[in-house]
Chain A
Amino acid sequence: MKSFLSNEDKMALALLALTALLIFASGWISPSLGSWNQVRSTLVLSTFVMLVGFGQQTVMLTGGLDLSVPAIVTLGAVALFSWVGADPAALTWGIPAVLGLCATIGAINGVFVALLRVPPFIMTLAMGMIVASALLGITGGSPRGEAAPAVAFLFTGEWLGLPPVVYLMAGFTALALLWQRHSGFGRMVYAVGTSAEAARIAGLPVARVTVLCYAISGASAGAAGILYVGFSGGATLDTGTDILIPVIAAVVVGGTSIMGGRGSFLGVVGGALLLTTFSIMITAIGMSAGWRAVINGGVILIALLTLQENIRAWGASKLRAFGSKRCLGVIGSATTVKRKTS
């Protein structure tokens, strides 16, 4: 019987369960951990990684990689903070304009990757440098502006004990999953990532799909930048600097294949929540920055190793073998007992 849940879904659920277990068990590190406060912080802090992770995963599903996201996150934040400002009326055109600008930069990445065959990491790395340098030149180093109260409300407001951004992210997750699984474009993304050549022979617009995937990544990064303005009430040229590694880690830990064609956004959500929980626990321990980085790296490495499909399959086969041995042993001893009694 075909399972209702795909392998990626099962992995995502396992990650979510592991996250819940960690939050519950983290009380022994600090008495305050395991509280609702921690759940709330985890959900809020993982929002940015999830959002950028959606775009990164979309690109990875085609077999690509987007290293320009830190710069585009910063662009989104600076554009909203400095060029749109706090006027509620300006937000109605400002947010779509910022998303459009970021999507356009992503699309340029896609054009160079899909049509000019520039390797994705070179193209996106170069684009990241260009955007970051342009922002430095335009802003003079210190962006000036005002944070829109409506965007800040996403983090400062509260509904049923959680800020609105958490509900926004939940809605986004549902839509993203529907898009990935049930839309024609979503299926084309998986097809292109599985085999671009086969997709081309099947008549799929491979180049267009690739360009759009990079545009989605740009827009997602821009959206995260907009949220950062709400979170911190401003924007600096460092806004997106540290997001790349957590995003790639969350996407890969969440079960997305770096070769493309396989992965679910639910996995990215699980990966982001798991890594944020680890991060909070490591902060709670209060160790020095060096050891903290070692543990962070170790956690990601262990997660990647244990979540590799072949290693999981190997583990499952060992478990089965161990189980059947025990079964055989039980059957064997039962037979012996039976013989003795007879």
Chain B
Amino acid sequence: MMEHVRTSTLKQIGLASLTALALAASGLAQAQQAQPQKKYKIYLSMFVSGGGWITAASNSIKALAATPPYDKTVELIEVISGPEPQKQIAAYESMIAAGADGIITLPGSFTALNRTIKKGCDKGVVFFTFGLTVSERCAYQVQAITNGFGENGGQLMANLTKGKATILANHAFPGGGADKRHFDGFLDAIKKYPEMKVVARTWGNAADEKSQAEAAKALAAHPTIDAVFTQPGELGIIKAFQAVGKDKLPIVIGEGGNGFRLALADPEMRKKGLNGVSSGGTPAEAAFGFKLMMEVLTKQRTMPFRQVAYPLPWVTADDVKICTGDRPKDGCNTYPKDKVPDTFFVSIMDRPDLLPELSLTAVLEGKPTPGATIQKITWPLEQQPPSPGVNCEKCTAPKDQFKVTKVKAFDAK
């Protein structure tokens, strides 16, 4: 009897305990459900603002951060620090102190930011750079710089001019590893053509107006210029040729401005000799870098290396195809004038396979593409080769660093 009572008491205690455990577990589960999902605090740090390239980069990151599921899991804060490295250092310091999980940045200096970046890395902050580079090895970098804009552009120019050209080289800003890498590659490609000569060099600050004014000065001194290797500012260069009443337009190896691509597609301009390619760096590096960073932070990806080579945009005059909708479809790569400004850096849309979340709404306004969700990157990442002054300080570039990959030389045997 007593045993029965003990047994039933034990049963009761057991049942009560189970009930209590179940209740506790359910409460815990409810508490867990009520607890908000982890929000990643991501900072977008730019050292300058404005301009087609930077606006497209910034807007695309904002749009991706607002695209599901990141709209619920990412808190994005943009900080524009100003061109002096010390201001960007101070901005990084504040971000690290504020508990940043990741900092995606257009860095304003190759070396000056290193110490702060290292400090952040040591505290677990994930750093991603785009556009320009830093020499600190703990930072992840996503750029197209080492993918051969200069050498491929130089060879295409040689092909289009049959190895005979009087050339204007219009740089973006004085100094900088990317600029040097592009120009060195270009010179390497044209060195085997003795009749191709760079007669003038200008610095157009990556802006159409400045490039136009500088090109006008160069044309006053060298009216025989018939080919141009240029960083952003291509349309300004073409206008400088038109302004001096030149009937013949040049071969232009330029970057990704929509106005430039429209000019390349213009039959009247083509008749006057305009030809070339739209290539160079692309703000898509920023959007792709953000996606990569989030995959690293959410542990969806382990990076086998830290320097990622973004594919080089390459749209020749013959390849320009005008889009009708807001998203790049059926191989279109350029938008009508009434849809985007001339300065719109359309090369951001060149790889819809890598960035299917982007549309004009996203890049122009920084708003998510309606109906889009973040797609996991399936493209096999490519590593940047070492390039002194671009992605490393004391390193040796491979012997074939200026290998031409996009075009075949017209005189190749």
Which positions in A face B, CB cutoff 8 Å? Answer: 29-30, 32-33, 35, 37-38, 40-42, 44-45, 136, 140-145, 155-156, 158, 228, 231-234, 236-239, 241-242, 279-281, 283-284, 286, 288-290, 293
Contact A140 B365 (CB under 8 A): yes
Q: Indicate if B136 sits at the interface (CB-CB under 8 A).
A: no
Size bracket, chain B contacts: 35 or more
Distance of B233 from chain A, by nearest CB (Å): 10
The digit string for B113-153, where 1 denotes a CB below 8 A from any CB of A, is 00000000000000000000000000000000000000000
Residues of A within 8 A of B59 (CB): 140-141
Q: How far is the CA of A44 from the CA of B214 in the complex (A)?
A: 12
Residues of A within 8 A of B239 (CB): 231-233
Given known A-B contacts A142-B343, A289-B174, A32 and B243 have beta carbons under 8 A apart = no
Partner of A290, one of B52, B174, B205, B365: B174
Contact A38 B341 (CB under 8 A): no
Partner of A37, one of B220, B242, B340: B220
Given known A-B contacts A37-B244, A141-B49, A238 and B217 have beta carbons under 8 A apart = no
Distance of A28 from chain B, by nearest CB (Å): 12
Interface centre among A35, A158, A286 (most CB of B within 10 A): A286
Contact A232 B212 (CB under 8 A): yes
The digit string for B220-232, where 1 denotes a CB below 8 A from any CB of A, is 1111100000000
Distance of A156 from chain B, by nearest CB (Å): 7
Contact B342 A234 (CB under 8 A): yes
Residues of B within 8 A of A145 (CB): 341
Residues of B within 8 A of A136 (CB): 49-50
A-B contact list, 22 entries, CB within 8 Å:
A29-B221, A32-B223, A37-B223, A40-B220, A140-B55, A141-B54, A141-B58, A142-B344, A228-B209, A231-B239, A231-B243, A232-B212, A236-B50, A236-B207, A236-B343, A237-B51, A239-B209, A279-B217, A283-B200, A283-B217, A283-B221, A289-B171
Q: Indicate if B245 sits at the interface (CB-CB under 8 A).
A: yes
Given known A-B contacts A236-B207, A286-B199, A41 and B340 have beta carbons under 8 A apart = no
Partner of B205, one of A41, A140, A242, A281: A242
Distance of A74 from chain B, by nearest CB (Å): 9
Q: 8 extra interchain contacts, Cβ-Cβ under 8 A, other than A140-B364, A284-B220?
A: A45-B216, A136-B50, A142-B50, A231-B213, A232-B209, A233-B235, A236-B50, A236-B52
Distance of B346 from chain A, by nearest CB (Å): 12
Residues of A within 8 A of B51 (CB): 141-142, 236-238
Given known A-B contacts A41-B216, A41-B244, A233-B239, A238 and B205 have beta carbons under 8 A apart = yes
Distance of A70 from chain B, by nearest CB (Å): 12
Q: Indicate if B218 sits at the interface (CB-CB under 8 A).
A: yes
Smallest CB gap from A82: residue in B: B341
Residues of B within 8 A of A30 (CB): 221-222
Q: Indicate if B202 sits at the interface (CB-CB under 8 A).
A: yes
Q: How far is the CA of A9 from the CA of B207 in the complex (A)?
A: 37
Q: How far is the CA of A293 from the CA of B208 in the complex (A)?
A: 21
Q: Count CB-based A-B contacts (< 8 Å).
A: 137
Q: How far is the CA of A140 from the CA of B56 in the complex (A)?
A: 10
The digit string for B188-224, where 1 denotes a CB below 8 A from any CB of A, is 0000000000111111010111101110111111111
Smallest CB gap from B58: residue in A: A141
Smallest CB gap from A233: residue in B: B239
Residues of A within 8 A of B198 (CB): 286
Distance of B192 from chain A, by nearest CB (Å): 22
Q: How far is the CA of A238 from the CA of B204 in the complex (A)?
A: 11
Smallest CB gap from B174: residue in A: A289
Q: How far is the CA of A141 from the CA of B53 in the complex (A)?
A: 9
Residues of B within 8 A of A144 (CB): 340-341
Given known A-B contacts A232-B239, A242-B205, A142 and B52 have beta carbons under 8 A apart = yes
Smallest CB gap from A42: residue in B: B220
- For window 242-263 of B, CB contacts with A under 8 Å fall at 242-245, 259
